[in-house]
A and B are shown apart, each in its own frame.
Chain A
Amino acid sequence: MNQTHDANPAHEAGSVYDGLLAGEADGHWAFGTSFEDPLAGVDTTVPEGVDPGDLAGYCLMLGDDALVLSHRLTEWCSNAPDLEEDVALANIALDLLGQARLLLARAAAADPAVVPALPDGSPVPPEDALAFFRDEPHFRNVRLVEAPTGDFAATVTRLFLCACWRLALLERLATSRDQVLAAVAAKGVTEVTYHRDYAARWLVTLAQGTEESRRRTSTALASLWPAVDELFGSHGVEPRMAAAGAGVDPATVRADVDAVVDQVLAAAGLERPQVPAMSGVRDRTGRDGLHTEAFGHLLAEMQAVARAHPMGMW
């Protein structure tokens, strides 16, 4: 009972409500209500020697990975094992969604031809046209991020594998000759470092927890492992972007990613699963727009409202 406070009810309407309802500046909020264009005020000139189409295609790849993984993590909202995990998974989903917005906007600015055509006068911004009005074969994400969410073990296992890989890519991209990509990557490195840490801790905890949690974790690892190989495939655009000093060829990060994965698996007492890699169809995989059956359902859900209102303002 050591805190004295102003208890005069007459002061209440005069102070507290005013503070809440009057127009305060929104600058200190992560998602201020005036924040429209994710690349507002940014110079989006494509650097010399970088093909705008390649840059756009490359941004779509990394942007779609983030968008789709974010969607899967969002599915946990209000379903997590405890409130702390609800908060953490939403946080990670938000980080990835933020990365996706910047990368899709970067793709559209680099090469407007990648943005689907909408009716004349549509107010839908390019990032949303890309997210909500592209058909499945135009999505460039790897198949690992689209697999159905599964249980908490599958969620942290996938997040761990994706974060190890994405972090390796973003660390190198931070020196991209494209200043926008470099800035997005530099911001992303901090975020994905946390994602990897969160997922690795849970992976070890679950693998070393109870018999049940260990069984679920091994099952998750075995079921996701076939999609890992695809993370390190090169898909035309990537080697060209790497040669131009603006992108990373994922084949070059494999050794580094393997080392981190092996270290955490060793701490967890888990073995690398001996299962064959998931092939593509006539060598086409996620990056080529060839997806799993689950992906169409994900898109149908994600795009339904936006597609019903191509002239809508949100």
Chain B
Amino acid sequence: MTTVDDVAPELVESFETTIGHHDRIEPRDWMPEGYRRTLVRQIAQHAHSEIIGMQPEGNWLTRAPSLRRKAILLAKVQDEAGHGLYLYSACETLGVSRQQLTEMLISGAQKYSSIFNYPTPSWADVGTIGWLVDGAAICNQVPLCRTSYGPYGRAMIRICKEESFHQRQGYELLMTMMRGTDEQREMVQESVDRFWWPALMMFGPPDDDSPNTAQSMEWGIKRHTNDELRQRFVDMSVPQAEALGVTLPDPELRWNEERGAHDFGAIDWDEFWTVVKGGGPCNAQRIAHRKRAWDDGAWVREAATAFARRSAS
């Protein structure tokens, strides 16, 4: 492993100058091993989240109640596969192959966003995921468009644009249901009740319990702390919930004039850690699904490789 001690001081200086100027590090530039490792972990986790995230929404593709919504949902889930592709490609510039990353996802060596370990028992969840889950993802991801690693930052620009479109589609879906029947309004409220707290957990543990944050911010990989982003998300969501006509399931949620921000109730971090550590309602199912798709497709990938080899010779 290359450590800072082993390399020419001008390389280290060049890296630090680039970071200091908030410029981009590119794949051929020298970078500390820890920086590379942190990026691989973060980008891979992000890519895996896109791919695993296809499942909870894909759950409703064959049952969408209108053809227009079916088309919107299918296009969205397809976008997620596309995001996974860009991100795996960004990760490959750091010297790890997509196949290795997929295997690390399946073996549990790498993680994905815990939000996808919650089930989607209701059609309204398709809208709620768009509104709250994609909304939280955008808050997390927009700052990453300025992240210090070039291929990641550039992938994030396109991803953020598409995510914001998904968020509006999700919100519009819920808005339409709210204009429908009483049963439909109940479906929306019930879904928001289930997803609000897990969405707040998407920003990760509180700052005083987030071991990687300081180094990541120093390297320009991360630009805001978990709690800053969480607050921004809450402040953004409150007026949207009011416009929608749903109640966010938090009796302590209120505007704090002094802070110029909303106060909100305590997050159940025990639940968060239970789900992160594999005990969520869908952890096993999500990985088993991905493993099955990967294993079932092995003969196809082998056939394509064999065919390409024969055609080249």
Contact = CB atoms under 8 A, between A and B. Distances in A.
Interface of A: 1-5, 7, 9, 12, 16-17, 20-21, 26, 29-31, 33, 35-36, 67, 71, 74-75, 77-87, 90-91, 93-94, 97-98, 100-101, 104, 123-125, 127-128, 131-132, 151-152, 204-206, 208-210, 212-213, 216, 301-302, 304-306, 309, 311-314
Nearest to A93: B74
A9 B300 contact: no
A77 B54 contact: yes
B117 to A, nearest CB: 15
Greatest chain B CB density within 10 A among A75, A209, A210 is at A209
Interface of B: 14, 18, 21-26, 29, 51, 54-55, 58, 61-72, 74-75, 77-78, 81-82, 84-85, 88, 123, 138, 142-143, 145-146, 150, 160-161, 164-165, 168-169, 172-173, 176-177, 179-181, 183-184, 223, 236, 289, 292-293, 296-304, 306-307, 310
A305 B181 contact: no
B293 A212 contact: no
Contact of B297 (A80, A204, A305): A80
A80 B293 contact: yes
A196 to B, nearest CB: 19
A152 B300 contact: yes
Given A101-B71, A128-B66, 5 more contacts: A16-B142, A20-B164, A97-B71, A213-B306, A312-B65
Q: Which residue of A90, A131, A151 has the most chain B CB atoms within 10 A of its CB atom? A: A90
Given A132-B65, A312-B180, A30 B299 contact: no
Q: Which of B142, B160, B179, B310 has the most CB of A within 10 A?
A: B142
Given A1-B29, A309-B181, A209 B307 contact: yes
Looking at B63, B138, B172, the one whose CB has the most chain A CB atoms below 10 A away is B63
Contact of A97 (B24, B70, B160, B181): B70
Contacts of B69: 314
Taking chain B's interface residues, is the majority helix, strand, or loop, or is none over half, making it mixed? Answer: helix
A240 B4 CA distance: 80
A128 B303 contact: no
Nearest to B15: A1
Contacts of B181: 309, 311-313
B63 A12 contact: no
B72 A84 contact: no
Given A16-B142, A20-B164, A87 B82 contact: yes
B22 A7 contact: yes
Contacts of B165: 26, 29
A216 B65 CA distance: 35
Smallest CB-CB A-B distances: 10 pairs = A81-B297, A209-B303, A7-B22, A213-B303, A313-B180, A81-B300, A90-B78, A20-B164, A314-B66, A306-B65
18 contacts: A1-B29, A7-B22, A12-B143, A20-B142, A78-B58, A81-B297, A83-B84, A90-B78, A94-B78, A98-B71, A208-B310, A209-B306, A304-B63, A306-B65, A309-B180, A313-B181, A314-B68, A314-B176
Contacts of B29: 1
A87 B150 contact: no
B300 A213 contact: yes
B2 to A, nearest CB: 18
